[in-house]
Amino acid sequence: MQANQSYSKKGTIRGMHFQWNPYMGKMVRTLSGHMVDLILDIRKGSPNYGKMIAYEMQESDVKEYDEWIWVPQGFAHGNFFIEDSKIEYMCSGEYNSNCESGISPLAKDINWSLCDKKLKNKFDRISNLTKLITDKDKDGFSLEKWSNDERSNNFIYEKLKEKSYRLVENQK
């Protein structure tokens, strides 16, 4: 539906962004540099609600293929950069600025228990040093404040699961 490309300097932190109306899934890859992708489950009622994972994606001339990561609807997306990097992402919906929000990647109530400890340590080092984070991202919701916002009801686990199932069935 929509393709984007962005450039970030070493030490930049972005996220945790999400959209609804339409919901937006994203396929992301690193074109150059070294990125760590962050994915946060924001589906109310999900067994993994509030849990963050990180996935390291470094550009390599040695690999015979480019690696992509899929961020489905119902998950907030962000990243941080180990090197100056260029990334590309394909979105399953058109951007709607009236139906977007974000949780600060610095929010203290995010559960990092599913995250590789080495990647969490890299995030902590960068977040303690960097000034390369927008006010919008730094001052985003905490998980608790977002869950108390009525718009968070657009992300109910069972409803999204049913919507995804219908989408798959319609494609058969």
pLDDT in tens, 123-169: 999 999 999 999 999 999 999 999 999 999 999 998 876 665 444 45
Where exactly are the structural domains of the chain?
Answer: 2-171
Catalytic residue among 17, 49, 55, 95, which? 17
Q: Is 89 a catalytic residue?
A: yes
- Per the annotation, the verdict on 165 as an active-site residue is no
- Residue-averaged pLDDT of the chain: 91
State if pTM tops 0.85.
yes
Catalytic residue among 89, 95, 157, 165: 89
Q: Which CATH class is domain 2-171?
A: mainly beta
Q: How far apart are CA 112 and CA 118, in angstroms?
A: 12
Residues facing 88 on adjacent strands? 5, 29
Among candidates 35, 76, 83, which has minimal Cα distance to 55?
A: 35
What confidence score (pLDDT) does residue 165 get?
47
Please report the pLDDT score of residue 122 as a whole number.
Answer: 97
What is the phi/psi pair of residue 8, to 5°?
A: -135, 140
The pLDDT value given to residue 164: 59
